[in-house]
Chain A
Amino acid sequence: MSHATLLDLSRWQWALTAAFHITFPAVTVGTSVFLVVCYAMYMRTYDEVWLRMFRFWRRIFGIGFALGVVSGIVLTFEFGLNWGRFAHDVGPIVGVIIAMEVVTAFFLEAGFLGLLVYGEGRIGKRMMLFSTCMVTLGTTLSVTWILVANSWMQTPDGYRIVDGQFQATNWLHVIFNPSFGIRFVHMLMGALIAAAWFIAGVSAWYLVKRRHLPIARRGVSVTLGVLALLVPVQMFIGDHVAGDYVFQDKPAQGLAMEGNWNNGNTGENFFVIPDQGAAKNDWQVTVPWLGSAIAKDWSGHTATPGLKQVPEQLRPAMLPTFYGFRLMWWSSVVMLAVAMIGIALRLRGRLYSARWFHKLVVAMVPIGVVATWAGWVLAETGRQPWLVYGKLLTADAVSPLRPAAVLTTLITFVLVYLALLGTYVWYVARVIREGPGDGPLAERAAPSLRPAPVPNPAPAT
């Protein structure tokens, strides 16, 4: 009983801290790409609108990055703090991969962020562009290594087990494990899309308020153009994530996310209220024939298999997998619709005048982050009860802590993270209300610490 409590508390703490963390990279990865575009365009065209956009989004990027850093450090330690057995067993593989992430990505981001945020006036334009590129390279490499580690846990490869510890036998197989490629592309695209909606929404808010119009128009135009391209591609990739990897390599997750317990349902479930213990749905809304059609059998005879064919103790929880998948999928449908409306309006020359559409885009601000959360809930709960799929059970990996200690820290995390989230929203809202400014441009922007230190000539010693 105590172990079950400890396991649940430890899992909730991980889920909370990981979900909180992913919120920030989900936005900053794409924003860093946008910063590169803005500054490169400024250097090409000398158009100060680009420079204003760069400085404005840099402020929002800075605070998101800081929160990503501090919440990421938490995860780094939690691997060992709460999952000591996991740390011991997979350290030779996952520890090594994350060590590579730290040296190639994290240091790079942190090392050049100082120049990006505080360097204006101290370094030249080329160096500023270079620093921005390095920060972006860092964020992208970070996504790469994290997806290597997580994909290896989903589809472990290139290892052997010696005395309960995983040892790499082939690093190429570890890194390019079966699910890495498609999941990496899926996550990177997700991050770009999440940032694009965020930027599009804020820019559209200025259109609604009729403020900073040149910046608002350019922001809406660039991001909606990119989204019209990325969202359909992402839906295509997501389809392959499900088809080529989930149903092949993690069949139990595939069964759970379709919401059936028994074989034989040829329809598609839209809503279910599952009873995991009794292995049945208390209630479900099913559209007949559609399940078979999705499986590309238009005659309506192909049934979706049910979760009962998996032994009870190896079944993932249906509730989070089913709704994680549906929340992600329906979000993408909404994104596609709004992006296509954007294309239609642009073709009719009404992109900057359709105020109802601007309000719609404002409402889309969080949608990419929500879809990212949902996707990760699906991936992580769908892997249960395994930590390393098929090899290491989550229940065996937890640190032997006192449940009371974990409960205490979990409650503190909830309170601290709620305060942090509130602070973040308050700060970003404040930056947005202040806006990128309409007055003459300063030679160097006031960075978030004003006024910045100015060096004297070489100090005499």
Chain B
Amino acid sequence: MQLSDVWMLFVALALTMYIVLDGYDLGIGVLTLLDRDPGRRRQMHELVAWIWDGNESWLILLALTLWAGVPLVTGIALPALYLPLILMLFALIARGVALELIEHHDGWHRGWGTLFGLGSLVAAFCQGAAFGGLVAGLPAYGDTFAGGPFTFLHHGYAVVTGLTAVALYVLAGSAFLYRKATGDTQRLAARAGRVAVVALAAGTVASWLLAAPAGPLTLHPGETARLPIWIGGAVLLTGGLAFALRSFRVDPTGTGSDRAPVLATLTVYGGGLLIAAGLLYPTLVPPGIIVHAAASPQSSLLFVIVGVGLVIPIILTYQAFGYWVFRGKLTPKHEGGAA
């Protein structure tokens, strides 16, 4: 265990927090596209309006944990993923600004709403595509990217992972919405959530099967110590998906828990992250860039581990406080197109 391995815990924390929190945020954005009712759309906007920038903070932290801790990864992967990441930035800009303006343009309320939904969809897709482009391998020469602008596509593999990411985020969004909403909105969440479970299962299998042909994926299969991690991850993933399918009740009877889909989704996340880490670590940019070679010098790692480590608990505390302040169900009084 080296300092750079310790730092990777922070990278993992930022990644997990981001895909869980902004995952539901972007997922709810996609869900707004499925419902034309202004009242229900508004409920969904309200769910994320107060926290979207807080959720996106984890994306910035993810980018920075990589840059500060393993600058070689940033130096190679970001130029290599130029197009999907720039497109993601445009999409995040569009949805953030649209969300702020949604209630202020009487004549174009629907337009801002659609922009918010499309921005969320494109951002989710681009993140999945960038992830697929990364894990399928990015050619590097020394410490510089040595491919073209479309290398990341890997003959369409990035499209598969992009769609899978959309399914994952829609699942997260549905689970959160199911937890916070009642009535028709909750039913919409349940229906969308079930579709997302099926799509995510298909996407995961496809991503798995196509990974090897897509590029020079470096696995570490010879290490038997990793076997429990893979099996544990696979069990969590499939169990979580099955649990999610069961717990989204299209007709809530009051007997089931409306927290169950959230728990199921978190299980899915846990399983997926375990599998990805178990397969790849310590490789960060396949085929050749591993953590220990890409890491910052000790002086930097020590400084950020102490500095960021001290602040993270405070951040988690006040973000939790925010969720506590905005706790409870959305009021159903605006339902049914009152706007």
Contact = CB atoms under 8 A, between A and B. Distances in A.
A447 to B, nearest CB: 8
Interface in B92-120: 92-94, 96-97, 100-104
B76 interface: yes
B235 interface: no
Nearest to A399: B79
B331 A453 contact: yes
A102 B61 contact: yes
Interface in A31-56: none
A103 B61 contact: yes
B75 A69 contact: no
Interface in A291-308: none
The size class of the interface chain B forms with chain A is 35 or more
Given A84-B78, A88-B75, A122-B325, A70 B97 contact: yes
Label chain B's interface by main secondary structure.
helix
Interface stretch (B24-32, B62-70, B201-209): B62-70
A70 B93 CA distance: 5
B96 A400 contact: no
Given A88-B74, A103-B308, A114 B51 contact: yes
Nearest to B72: A88
Given A77-B63, A106-B60, A92 B100 contact: no
Interface in A403-461: 405, 409, 412, 416, 420, 423, 427, 430, 448-459, 461
Contacts of A450: 103
A90 B257 CA distance: 50
Contacts of B300: 91-93, 95-96, 167-168
A190 to B, nearest CB: 24
A87 B325 CA distance: 39
Interface stretch (B153-161, B192-200, B216-224, B311-319): B311-319
B149 interface: yes
B148 A110 contact: no
A99 B74 contact: no
Interface string B142-168: 011110110000000000000000000
A66 B54 CA distance: 11
A63 interface: yes
A446 B275 CA distance: 46
Given A95-B296, A100-B307, A423-B101, A114 B54 contact: yes
B89 interface: yes
A276 interface: no
A175 B104 CA distance: 42
Interface in B285-327: 296-297, 299-300, 303-304, 307-308, 311-312, 315, 318-319, 322, 325-327
B322 A459 contact: no
A251 interface: no
A169 B299 contact: yes
Contact of A171 (B74, B100, B303): B303
Contacts of B279: none
B46 A87 contact: no
B71 A77 contact: no
A80 B63 contact: yes
A165 B53 CA distance: 33
Contact of B74 (A69, A71, A87, A108): A87
B307 A461 contact: no
A323 to B, nearest CB: 30
A456 B93 CA distance: 33
B4 to A, nearest CB: 12
A106 B57 contact: yes
A401 B100 CA distance: 34
A363 interface: no
In this complex, which of A71, A96, A103, A451 has the most chain B Cβ atoms within 10 angstroms of its Cβ? A103
A79 interface: yes
A104 interface: yes
A455 B68 contact: no
B319 A111 contact: yes
A63 B50 CA distance: 13
B329 interface: yes
A83 to B, nearest CB: 9
Contact of B85 (A70, A81, A85, A88): A81
A73 interface: yes
Interface of A: 62-63, 65-67, 69-74, 76-77, 79-82, 84-85, 87-93, 95-96, 98-100, 102-104, 106-108, 110-115, 117-119, 122-123, 134, 162, 165, 167-169, 171, 399-402, 405, 409, 412, 416, 420, 423, 427, 430, 448-459, 461
Given A91-B68, A401-B79, 5 more contacts: A62-B100, A69-B56, A81-B79, A114-B50, A455-B329
20 contacts: A63-B101, A71-B93, A73-B59, A79-B67, A79-B74, A80-B77, A87-B71, A98-B64, A99-B64, A100-B307, A111-B54, A113-B54, A118-B50, A171-B303, A401-B82, A430-B104, A449-B45, A456-B329, A461-B258, A461-B259
Question: 7 tightest A-B contacts by CB?
Answer: A91-B71, A80-B78, A88-B75, A455-B328, A114-B50, A95-B68, A95-B67
